[in-house]
Structure 1
Amino acid sequence: MTMTRIKGRSLVEGRGQGSLLWANQGLSFWGGVDPFSAEVIDRHHPLSGQSLAGRVLAIPSGRGSCTGSSVLLELILNGPAPAALVLAEPDEILTLGALVAEQVFNVQLPVLCIGHAAFADLEPHAGASVRIDGEQLLAVDAPDSPWSAEPMARTDGPRTSLSLNARDRALLAGEYGQAAQVAMQLVLRMAELMGASELLDISQAHIDGCIYTGPACLRFAEQLREWGAQVCVPTTLNAISVDQRRWRALGIEPSFGEPASALGDVYMAMGAQLSFTCAPYLLDSTPALGEQIVWAESNAVVYANSVLGARTLKYPDYLDICIALTGRAPRCGAHLDEGRRATLLVEVQYPQEPDDSFWPLLGYHVGLLAGRSIPLLTGLEHSAASSDDLKAFGAAFATTSAAPMFHIAGITPEAPDEASALGGQAPARQLRVTLDELLESWRGLNSAESAEVSLVALGNPHCSATELARLAELCEGHHSHPDTTLVVTCGRAVHEQAAAAGHVATLERFGARLITDTCWCMLGEPVVPPGARTLMTNSGKYAHYAPGLVGRQVHFGSLTACVEAACSGRNARAVPAWLGNPQPHGSH
């Protein structure tokens, strides 16, 4: 019997054993793992179709959605969960899901960080039996050898190495109630894992944990409310999993609609505002340059940091509400100047006369290259990128990367020039993105084999007022194909603006349906027509997630191409001329 023994850093204590499932690519648990079956549903991931149940999952880190912590909690509390997680580098989103299970529900799932070199050494042991015991990992070729799996003793108590002020200590002592006390305990544990030495005050929060992933997320929110939870800073809510006013009319089953709607109500009972949008940067409460905030929802985090110049980490679901209850966040990462510097320099080949699909495609591609590195993009100084372009770029970038932000030289506020974004230091890596490389990502996002389009899905992230105005202009005087449905998601505030401008009436004459409160990452049948085989979207984010979330093949293209498909019921599947290869993407 041969053994490999590795010592790492225990992010969450515990013991576990199972066969090793290894991949050298980060995984977003939201949209990438089914919270009820534990199947990997990210159809772009090398582990697609595999089950995590009872196995030791080894990935470099998480990526993508902040809701990954919620999916992991569902798996831990309701099964089937992995036996343990092994990471090459610390990941706040996945670690937080396991910490909530331990701190709030007294259930342990070990999370171990072993570094990149040891992580690479694990690859030959894929499929072998692996044991986690605190800081120790043991890979054993004989899977039936004896193993003791008694639970480890918990390390309860308010001990911390962080520097705390008087209010921090009062929160920790329970003087502001049990909910705030438990929230502070979680904030401190995460702050220590992140390497912070103290906390800072934040001015506002945006809660992503209001997305319904299953009974565990509602159980968590109701427990906080039972303990008397009340937010202490202005707090907005992300898109929830249903249109709260119309889910019955849309045909949503009560078994899903009722708890999903109730989850939003519980967070509002804690003092959060009824906003229900994944694009909080479109609200009147938009933070200012340099403002310290706590936002969850991956696209919102990236937009806040990159486009607005506000300061937030990529906060996991559940840590967002904990910080809203305490008003205190870890002083580290993108909250600090040094945590916002670019370490990856990306020179982009800018095409002649691109359409609006360029930006989400580029964001998707750069996210795959970046990993956890903050990139600085050059070559786009004369692109005249709009806020909608940057929104589309950021959402796709946040889907495939784990970084909290990006810089674009000459466009984003902290990158007036190359030297500013790099902080006067040489980048750790330099890359060039060519149109040929973007063409490969285009083909990856266009998974549909048939030219048929049964659904056109727009608004991921939620449409802005300018996007709805542009859509109405394209739809004016036309009508959707009888076999094709066009559905648009947006926030209530934007819907009201569009209605007042007459755009909603134009879209409804076309045959479009507008849905508020929820977004495409949470929508399934019957909004997605049960008989539909393919859909089309202009969102790089949804083009990535849809094959796994709703089991449909995808056409990806510009807004104009989406409207043309809605009118004809088909997509020509031609690569746009600006990519330099106007052939059908299946012809290579």
Structure 2
Amino acid sequence: MPRLTSLTGRSLVPGAAEGALLFADVGLSFWGGVDPYSGEVIDRHHPLSGQYLAGRVLAIPSGRGSCTGSSVLMELISNGHAPAALVLAEPDEILTLGVLVAQTIFQRSLPVLCIGQEAFATLRDMAVARVEDSTLSLFEQPPGDAWRAPDNAQPKADNPSTLQLSELDQALLAGHHGQAAQVAMQIVLRMAELQGAQRLVDVTQAHIDGCIYTGPASLRFAEQLVQWGAKVRVPTTLNSISVDQRRWRELGIDPALGVPASALGDAYMAMGAQLSFTCAPYLLDSAPQAGEQIVWAESNAVVYANSVLGARTLKYPDYLDICIALTGRAPLIGCHLDAQRKASLRVQVPELAELDDAFYPLLGYHIGALAGSRIPLVLGLEQHQPSLDDLKAFGAAFATTSAAPLFHIAGVTPEALDPRQVLEADALLPQESIRLQDLLVSWRELNSARESRVDVVSLGNPHFSLSEFAHLARLCRGRHKHPEVVVAITCGRAVLEQARAAGHIATIEAFGATLVTDTCWCMLGEPVIPLAATTLMTNSGKYAHYAPGLVGRKVHFASLKECVDAACTATASGRLPAWLQPAARLENPAHV
């Protein structure tokens, strides 16, 4: 059968493949959205939910969400459940990096092609796609010819580098600082070329997200670096790992996960990283200052560092983070540069009554979906003055639905105290105006549970801060949870000790809650979540989105106070917050 049409794009990873076309016009986070062992799309909010990626040409606008997407894609490539090829509307560093590392460690690969938004829109009704380096051929039916894809394992020769390399860069690349640093620099330079960087920049610290165990490939990568003598060149902290390293046996975790997940954390510490194990490194004493050039991975941490602290980092993929930590050098592009930190979208928030703490994660979730990869300037919150905990919750939910590494809130975040500072002179930005009814739609999306019963209350995604522990202790004082409800809070070791010293933990443990360190709710499952549990409740917009796919349970999303009340009664009230009730009255005027 003759090809229906042919398109040309930019080859991010060369190669050739053919398969049934799996198309979606919504970005996909591979971590939390794709099962790393089977290739099933498990994001229950995504149009491809339930589809399997293996052997198909996956066409999505871009990735989104977690930096760990690179690790999941590398696992899929190593275990044979990866797509045959990726076709993107816009470049995606997280997914591309996963392919590059698979080439380096496993000698396996797949083609990645970027074709632009206009061409991408034409793919919707196509049945079969064939990728050959920079060419995409589309068919309405299987072509039936004798075409076979060549071996994609080995990368093709790159064009000569145009990067300006320092003496240190050249020494690292030549292997003068060991094999691990040499391989790391090779990967850094490949990404820098793809990103269009002209030179590299020194970074002062790193936060590593690749310590999350996604399967055997993630451990093999880290242990290979250790065998090659890897040592970090800058102060380096570690993200949450997949288990509480000190208590995973006590918590009933299967050794099939506990042993390799703990070993993965040990491997990164063997490279010189600090034992921090938190997804909220901005709560540590080592948090960066405004203007500091850093390399952080973990999507919520990246967004918080850029937006709230005013530090400078990209949304670094897993494995590129450790490569930069081993070299101390990062591509000078994106949010490392003043010009790339400007807003590209205005978002107007409606006038609102008094708010509770459920508002900010909901708003972040909604704006992230509106923004896509654009950096938003949020207008209308100047009088509300959100707290650091509010901004943490907003940023985590924003990073779940957006690919952007940064947001600005007029009059609130440091670079937008004067919003003119984040606007290009004379630039006419697109504007979105959010209605209260729009937020009601997102509220219902996050509230996937249909029964009022609550079996588990999940708190600490991202990790709890000292002030959140203080707030929770006030809500719990003199009360005790329902005997059939599990209440668990994840946090970093450092914050746990601060909260214990302040007296908050004694009150919370008297309430009946369990404290879990080192890991986070995005990695927790059974038996911390009892096998018989069917419904969770959380105040995290991020976890409300991911939990249905990660642990197969429906979710109630609400404020911290509502979560504590539900923990005592084993029942979610189902009440809308006061600020959202006018939207429901507009929807059902007969009930006013």
Question: TM over 0.5: same fold?
Answer: yes
SS in 2 for 1:82: coil
Alignment-mate amino acid for residue 551 of structure 2: V
Cα separation, 2, equivalents of 1:550 and 1:154: 37
Residue 37 of structure 2 aligns with which residue? 36
| Alpha-carbon offset, residue 139 of structure 1 | 1.3
SS in 2 for 1:124: coil
Per-residue Cα deviation, 1:358-408 (whole angstroms, up to 9, x for no partner) = 000000000000000000001100112110000000000000000000000
Cα separation, 1, equivalents of 2:433 and 2:385: 20
Cα separation, 1, equivalents of 2:317 and 2:351: 34
Bigger Cα displacement from structure 2, 578-587 vs 185-194 = 578-587
Cα separation, 1, equivalents of 2:6 and 2:66: 32
Structure 2: give runs of 5+ residues left out of the alignment: none
| Alpha-carbon offset, residue 79 of structure 1 | 2.2
Cα separation, 1, equivalents of 2:519 and 2:148: 46
Residue 533 of structure 1 aligns with which residue? 534
Alignment-mate amino acid for residue 139 of structure 2: V
Correspondence 1:313 to 2:324: no
Contact 1:344 1:427 (C-alpha < 8 Å) held by counterparts: no
Residue 184 of structure 1 aligns with which residue? 185
Residue 136 of structure 1 aligns with which residue? 135
Cα separation, 2, equivalents of 1:464 and 1:533: 28
Cα separation, 1, equivalents of 2:111 and 2:385: 47
Contact 1:435 1:580 (C-alpha < 8 Å) held by counterparts: no
Contact 1:29 1:68 (C-alpha < 8 Å) held by counterparts: yes
Per-residue Cα deviation, 1:92-123 (whole angstroms, up to 9, x for no partner) = 00000001111232111110001111111111
Contact 2:437 2:583 (C-alpha < 8 Å) held by counterparts: no
| Alpha-carbon offset, residue 585 of structure 1 | 13
Residue 146 of structure 2 aligns with which residue? 146
Per-residue Cα deviation, 1:223-248 (whole angstroms, up to 9, x for no partner) = 11111100000000000000000000
CA-atom RMSD in angstroms: 1.6
Cα separation, 1, equivalents of 2:426 and 2:502: 48
Output the TM-score relative to the length of structure 1.
0.98
Residue 55 of structure 1 aligns with which residue? 56
Residue 351 of structure 1 aligns with which residue? 352
SS in 1 for 2:367: helix
Correspondence 1:80 to 2:81: yes
Residue 569 of structure 2 aligns with which residue? 568
Cα separation, 1, equivalents of 2:429 and 2:105: 40
Residue 98 of structure 2 aligns with which residue? 97
Cα separation, 2, equivalents of 1:158 and 1:500: 58
Shift of the 584–227 alpha-carbon distance from structure 1 to 2, 3 Å rule, reads farther
Cα separation, 2, equivalents of 1:585 and 1:383: 24
Residue 168 of structure 1 aligns with which residue? 169
Per-residue Cα deviation, 1:296-323 (whole angstroms, up to 9, x for no partner) = 0000000000000000000000000000
Per-residue Cα deviation, 1:172-216 (whole angstroms, up to 9, x for no partner) = 111111110110011011111111100000000000000000001
Contact 1:574 1:582 (C-alpha < 8 Å) held by counterparts: no
SS in 1 for 2:321: helix
| Alpha-carbon offset, residue 586 of structure 1 | 12
Per-residue Cα deviation, 1:466-517 (whole angstroms, up to 9, x for no partner) = 0011101100000000111110000000000111111111111100001000
Alignment-mate amino acid for residue 119 of structure 2: A
SS in 2 for 1:470: helix
| Alpha-carbon offset, residue 137 of structure 1 | 1.1
Output the TM-score relative to the length of structure 2.
0.97
SS in 2 for 1:49: coil
Cα separation, 2, equivalents of 1:275 and 1:176: 26
Bigger Cα displacement from structure 2, 284-293 vs 342-351 = 342-351
Structure 1: give runs of 5+ residues left out of the alignment: none
Residue 211 of structure 2 aligns with which residue? 210
SS in 2 for 1:62: coil
Residue 265 of structure 1 aligns with which residue? 266
Residue 507 of structure 1 aligns with which residue? 508
SS in 1 for 2:28: coil
SS in 1 for 2:212: coil
Contact 1:543 1:554 (C-alpha < 8 Å) held by counterparts: yes
Contact 1:8 1:135 (C-alpha < 8 Å) held by counterparts: yes
Q: Size of the alignment, in residue pairs? A: 586
Shift of the 586–471 alpha-carbon distance from structure 1 to 2, 3 Å rule, reads farther
SS in 2 for 1:577: coil
Shift of the 560–584 alpha-carbon distance from structure 1 to 2, 3 Å rule, reads farther
Cα separation, 2, equivalents of 1:503 and 1:425: 51
Contact 2:499 2:505 (C-alpha < 8 Å) held by counterparts: yes
Bigger Cα displacement from structure 2, 53-62 vs 104-113 = 104-113
Contact 1:240 1:518 (C-alpha < 8 Å) held by counterparts: yes
Shift of the 305–558 alpha-carbon distance from structure 1 to 2, 3 Å rule, reads same
SS in 1 for 2:525: coil
SS in 2 for 1:414: helix
SS in 1 for 2:125: helix
Residue 25 of structure 1 aligns with which residue? 26
Per-residue Cα deviation, 1:549-575 (whole angstroms, up to 9, x for no partner) = 000000000000000000000001121
Contact 2:440 2:584 (C-alpha < 8 Å) held by counterparts: no
Counterparts of 1:169-318 in structure 2, within 5 Å, are 169-318=170-319
Alignment-mate amino acid for residue 140 of structure 2: D
Q: Percent identity?
A: 67
